[in-house]
Structure 1
Amino acid sequence: MKILQRHNTSMHWVFIYSIIVLTYACSQPKKESIDNEEKVIHEKGTFGYDLDFLKEHYDDLVVLKNGNAQVIVSPALQGRVLTSTAEGAKGQSFGWLNHDLIASGEQMEHFNPIGGEERFWLGPEGGQFSIYFKPESSFDFENWYVPKEIDTEPFELVSSSSSQASFKKQMQLTNYSNTVFNLNVSRTIKLLNNQEISSALDTELTENIQAVGFESENIISNNGENNWDKNSGMLSIWILSMLNPSPSTAVVVPFKEGDETELGKIVTDDYFGKVPSDRLIVKDEVLFFKADGKKRSKIGLSPQRALPIAGSYDAQNQVLTIAQFTLPENNHDYVNSLWEIQDKPFAGDAVNSYNDGPLDNGDQLGPFYEIESSSPAANLAAGESLTHIHRTFHFKGESDDLNRLAKTLLKVDLNEIEKAFD
């Protein structure tokens, strides 16, 4: 009897243990349910949405990450920064992307406007030394082609980590005057932490500011046997940032004051017809350019007038954007990109901004706006190199904190920017 009783007791505890395990197992979601719960559908306009979308179409993306600050880079798109965020997957996606074109998988004949927050191009675009027009062709859209090396061909990924990615590309380009350029391109994208952002801008960030900053180091090297000079034509590094506009976004460009007889005009404002006065306001040391994506227009500042900084403020989303770039002193030879045979092919701009808008036929590419910087013309002997650095920073936070940054970096109050086009 004692043996039987012991056996019954043991069976009793086995039964109770089985009930407990079964009850616990039933209370837990199935793995399929867990997976479904973990798969978050992000809203359009967020970084998470763009990252998920881009992963569907590119299998070689490099994501740089430091906490909530993240940047997406694509080797297939010439080491292009596609977009960034300061607030993680649910945060605002700062780069403009042409979702429809990317999803279509099509390739355009003249130019593939994929978009992207920061891309590498080369100048000049127009003139007798252009690399976008074939020799003896007329300067109109039918003959304008972006070289495949900076449009559709990939850059080789040399190395990558959580904070930076490096790329390289060999190119051979022929300009309008039949000069052949053999060059090597090296491009490194680095995600900057808050300490590096503060150091680059020589200012402190408060705890209430969310920030993302990245730097592109761009190097072109003369890999041929002939020198590049004013007789043959010279290339330049051209960095373009495509950003999302809003009705209350304005580009802010500080500039050097001085007499026009010494420094020339303050701003070139007639690229696509003169910019109306309700879209461009020039003050003593700063100009405001409306960036709402509703009227196609462009401005430019010469190296005599430019400072190594520009920015924008989106009052609707409370985003302050800063662009910082290389601007060597006493070098005023910048390529001229006007679509014509030029009297002064090396009297071009160092800083530009473009606002997208409808074309004459009503079609529109964007909407987006751009902040652009260029290197000087690359006067390189065989084997020599030229480096151009461009940094992009986005800040989100309370208006008081952002205002302090704006006054320090752009020398202007946020309230003045907001009311510029009221």
Structure 2
Amino acid sequence: MKNYLFFYPCLLLGAAGCNPASNNTEAAAVKDSAAKGTYAYDAAFLKKHTAKVIELTSGDSSAKVLLSADYQGRVMTSTALGDDGNSFGWLNYDLISAPEKKKQFNPVGGEERFWMGPEGGQYSLYFKGGDSFNIAHWQVPSVIDTDSYDVTKSDKSMAVFSKKASIKNYSGTSFEIAIERTVSLLGKDQLSQRLNISIPADVHVVGFETSNKITNTGSNDWTKDKGLVSVWLLGMFTPSSETTVIIPFHGIPNARSFITDNYFGDIPKERLQVADSVLYFTCDGKLRSKIGLSPLIAKPIAASFDFKKNVLTIIIPQVNKDAAYVNSKWEMQKEPYKGDVINSYNDGPLADGTQMGPFYEVESSSPALELKKGTTGEYKQTTCHFEGSYATLQTLAKQLLGVDLNTIKK
């Protein structure tokens, strides 16, 4: 049975019948009784303001993952401690509850959303041919912004979303595509195998994997000279004044030159510290800044630690140092296939004082998909959150990242 947890209001026609108003009243009551920042609060909020939300849940209901078909099969949030636990995904409450959608981009949030690259350049999917690369001309395609996806399968442990679309890039190349996105809840044993560690019994954890497939359904092969696309996954999380993104990398000679740190101007030294094989990036939602790592140095891991809430977040992307990656810089590019594989963004006030968040992001991208007609490219990523004693999380961080949390804390 499809597990549309309380969110297709007319799906269950029991003795009480279908009563959306009653559902919304119930959601409002739960929301009012739950503390903001908890999973229960966000689940009730989404129940009230959206139609197609699916919940994945562990057998003991401690690990939960909330998905939305309205928002392209997006992982909206998750928890490791049940309804009263921390809600890990950042949600834009004002925009989700607004009666109208924005024209250019609807940043509703969510801890993993499906996007496609490249963003800028001659093969951009976000600018029309001939337009200048500035915010006034930037347009997020509807298939990754406002379109609802079909739910082809779901149960308590996984859900599959699908969508067909046509997209044209800056150079005029059209892409006929079929998207299939599968989100799977991972148990503690599965995560232990995936991370190659033993997770202590006193650690609470939630983890999920997404499989993101793009099929070339058109009549032509996709070739580099006309532009390629990629899978781009972006996780939006709630920051604190004590949140640091931690990204290990291969310490090859001149590794620093393979880290881009000037997307939105120079980052103050105290906010970005780069050692021989790891970087530390302050993500407190107070200064708009972004970094990116080339596949030539990136490892298949990125993380963050919230010292205020004692939460370790681990993201496992796929990295291929020999592959071509699309370049998303907002300019005509000399090297359109030398882009980043891992990025992190810290939100902050714009020049006019307004701010979208605060939130921070950890992002990853697939290689450029050079697909022959009828073939499919797939990209997978795993996200997990750990909560426990500081000493235990310190040990986990040392095992997974090779870093000492005490050093970062100082």
- TM-score (structure 2 length as normaliser): 0.91
For residue 153 of structure 1, what is the amino acid of its counterpart? D
Does 1:348 pair with 2:339?
yes
Q: What amino acid is aligned across from residue 298 of structure 2 in structure 1?
A: A
One-letter amino acid of the counterpart of residue 371, structure 2: L
Aligned counterparts, 1:186-225, within 5 A: 186-225=180-219
Count of aligned pairs: 381
Report the secondary structure of 1:142's partner residue: coil
In structure 2, give the amino acid aligned to 1:413: D
Shift of 1:400: 1.3
In structure 2, the partner of 1:85 is 79
CA distance in 1, matches of 2:35, 2:258: 42
Matched, 1:168 2:162: yes
For residues 239 and 321 of structure 2, what CA distance do their matches in structure 1 show? 32
One-letter code aligned to 1:391: T
| Stretches of 4+ aligned residues off by more than 2 angstroms | 36-40
The answer on 1:293 being equivalent to 2:306 is no
Residue matched to 1:237: 231
Q: Give the secondary-structure state (helix, strand or coil) at the position aligned to 2:193.
A: helix
Q: Is the 8 A contact 1:313 1:417 kept in 2?
A: no
Say if 1:73 and 1:82, in contact at 8 Å, map to a contact too: yes
Q: How far is 1:284 from its partner? A: 1.0
Is 1:407 the counterpart of 2:398? The answer is: yes
Q: Distance in 1 between matches of 2:396 and 2:38?
A: 24
2:144 maps to what in 1? Answer: 150
The CA distance in 2 between the partners of 1:125 and 1:291, in whole Å, is: 23
Q: In the alignment, is residue 183 of structure 1 matched against residue 174 of structure 2? A: no
Query: What is the RMSD computed on CA atoms of the aligned residues?
Result: 1.4
Q: How does 1:300-311 map to 2 (within 5 A)?
A: 300-311=292-303
Higher alpha-carbon Rg: 1
Please list the CA deviations of residues 130-164 of structure 1 after superposition, one character each: whole Å capped at 9, or x if unmatched.
01001111101110000001100011100000010
Match of 1:388 among 358, 379, 392: 379
Unaligned runs of 5+ in 1: 1-35
CA distance in 2, matches of 1:283, 1:118: 28
Work out the CA distance in 2 between the residues paired with 1:203 and 1:273.
38
Contact 1:323 1:393 (8 Å CA) reproduced = yes
Give the secondary-structure state (helix, strand or coil) at the position aligned to 1:265.
Answer: helix
- 1:235-286 Cα distance to aligned partner (Å, 9 max, x none): 00000000000010000000011123xx671410000001110110000110
> 1:14-413 counterparts in 2 under 5 A?
41-66=33-58, 67-260=61-254, 265-331=257-323, 333-413=324-404
**Do the aligned partners of residues 343 and 205 (structure 1) sit closer, same or farther apart at CA in structure 2, a change above 3 Å counting?**
same
Counterpart-to-counterpart distance in 1, 2:184 and 2:99: 29
SS at match of 1:52: helix
Could you say what secondary structure the match of 1:107 adopts? coil
Shift of 1:414: 1.1
Query: 1: CA distance between counterparts of 2:73 and 2:281?
Result: 29
Q: 1:25 maps to which residue?
A: none
Q: Which runs of 5+ in 2 are unaligned?
A: 1-27
Q: Please give the alpha-carbon distance, in whole angstroms, between the structure 2 residues aligned to 1:224 and 1:104.
A: 36
Deviation per residue, 1:307-343 (Å, 9 max, x gap): 1100000000000000001113422x10000101001
The CA distance in 1 between the partners of 2:101 and 2:50, in whole Å, is: 15
Which residue type is aligned with residue 48 of structure 1?
A
SS at match of 2:257: coil
Task: Give the letter aligned to residue 279 of structure 1.
Answer: R
Change (3 A) 1:39 1:121: closer
Give the superposition deviation at 1:381.
Answer: 1.0
1:323 match: secondary structure? strand
Question: 1:59 deviation in Å?
Answer: 2.2
Query: Counterpart amino acid of 1:389?
Result: K
Q: Say if 1:37 and 1:227 are closer, same or farther in 2 by CA, change over 3 A.
A: closer
Which 10-residue stretch deviates more, 264-273 or 89-98? Answer: 264-273
2:360 and 2:194 map into 1 onto residues whose CA distance is 24
SS of residue in 1 equivalent to 2:136: helix
Conserved 8 A contact 2:297-2:321: no
Deviation at 1:105? 2.6
Query: Contact conserved, 1:85 with 1:91, CA < 8 A, in 2?
Result: yes
Looking at structure 2, the residues matched to 219 and 416 of structure 1 have their Cα atoms a distance apart, in angstroms, of 40
Q: Which residue of 2 aligns with 1:20?
A: none
Distance in 2 between residues matched to 1:38 and 1:399, nearest whole Å: 31
Tell me if the contact between 1:249 and 1:291 (Cα under 8 Å) persists in the aligned partners.
yes
Change (3 A) 1:345 1:266: closer
Cα distance, 1:39–1:326 mapped onto 2, change above 3 Å? closer
Q: How much does 1:385 deviate?
A: 1.3
1:106 offset after TM fit, Å? 2.0
SS in 2 for 1:231: helix
2:223 touches 2:370 (CA, 8 Å); kept in 1?
yes
Identity rate of aligned residues, in percent? 48
Q: Give distance in 1, aligned partners of 2:32 and 2:265.
A: 46
Any idea what SS the aligned residue of 1:191 has? strand
> Secondary structure of 1:76's match?
coil
Give how far 1:291 is off. 0.3
In the aligned structure 2, how far is the partner of 1:162 from the partner of 1:255?
A: 36
**Which whole-Å deviations, capped at 9, do the CAs of 1:362-388 have from their partners, x for residues lacking one?**
000000000000000001111121111
Change (3 A) 1:128 1:40: closer
Amino acid at match of 1:245: P
Q: Kindly indicate which of the two structures has a greater share of residues assigned to helix.
A: 1
